[in-house]
Amino acid sequence: MVDKVVLTIGRHGRYGYGTRFPLLEGSIVEGVYRGMCLCEMYGCPDVIYSSTIARAAVTANLHALGCGYDSGIIFDDNLLENAGRQNVAFFIDMLAAEAQSNGYKHIHIVTHAPVIEKLTSLISNSRYFVQPDGGIIWEADCWDELLTRRGRISLTEGLYPGLDLLVNLWRSTPDEQRIKSYFSREVNVDWDKVIPLLALSGQFSSCSQIEKVYDLLAPFVRRAA
């Protein structure tokens, strides 16, 4: 859990054109899973900010669902994919002031690769590229360090096996033990979280819109909390 202050920054999930939902089904599962892990490591965010573009907004909602966050996501155009460096700098200044004023310990952001590159170059001495569904963790003693580039940055761990692969395997072989047997090297997913999510993914096809998927997943997340 948080003992200082933490800014977690997630890139939106993977998506395809002409698909039923704004994200691929593997990324829908991964979004909830990432939210659950995020909450375990740093506690539920005090506030979540997101780009308004659908793939980011849906990812933010999935992270919020996994975290048990229900205070309302703040959508900000300064996090849009084409936001300029000046927009991102303004957002950081605003964020630092809001966080300090409200005593926040954990803030979560969901945005796009170009914004993450600009954002990390402004709060550190490096520019970071993040894969879809990946993220950045920034930790510091206080929020003022956002403005002085003094925080510590790390990348979130990639998942093996990937959730896209597991969702596809589950479609053809909905058997927990058999799926686990396919992977001889050490995995870094929590099967207790992943297997129930895979089972629920089999019902995504009956959902007419992404909000129905949220409703489908919410009871499991509440039981697991």
Condensed to tens digits (0 to 9), the pLDDT of residues 2-45 reads 469 999 999 999 998 878 899 999 999 999 999 999 999 999 99
pLDDT by residue, tens only, the chain of 225 residues = 446 999 999 999 999 887 889 999 999 999 999 999 999 999 999 999 999 999 999 999 999 999 999 999 999 999 999 999 999 999 999 999 999 999 999 999 999 999 999 999 999 989 999 999 999 999 999 999 999 999 999 999 899 999 999 999 999 999 999 999 999 778 999 999 999 999 999 999 999 999 999 999 999 998 877
For 32, 76, 193, the CA distances from 190, given in Å and listed in that order, are 13, 32, 6
Q: Say if CB 132 and CB 11 are below 8 A apart.
A: yes
161: closest CA among 62, 55, 26, 28? 26
Cβ neighbours of residue 105 under 8 Å, at least 6 residues apart?
2, 4, 5, 6, 43, 46
3-state class of 108 per DSSP? Answer: strand
Residue type at 202 in one-letter notation: G
pLDDT for 1 equals: 45
Task: Say how many C-beta atoms besides its own lie within 10 A of residue 1's C-beta.
Answer: 11
Taking the whole predicted model, whether its pTM rises above 0.85 is answered as yes
For 84, 94, 100, 151, the CA distances from 87, given in Å and listed in that order, are 5, 11, 20, 21
Task: Say how many C-beta atoms besides its own lie within 10 A of residue 215's C-beta.
Answer: 10
pLDDT for 19 equals: 83
pLDDT for 223 equals: 84
Sign of CA dihedral 205, 206, 212, 216: negative
> Starting at the edge strand that comes first in sequence, how are the strands of the sheet with 152-155 ordered?
74-75, 47-50, 106-111, 5-11, 135-140, 152-155
Dist. CA 49–CA 157, nearest whole Å: 22
For domain 5-159, give its CATH number from 3.40.50.1240, 3.40.50.620, 3.40.50.300, 3.10.105.10: 3.40.50.1240
Dist. CA 159–CA 133, nearest whole Å: 10
Give domain limits for the chain. 5-159
Whether omega for the bond prior to residue 161 falls within 30 degrees of 0, making it cis, is yes
Q: Say if CB 114 and CB 88 are below 8 A apart.
A: no
Could you tell me the two tokens for 83? 């936001």
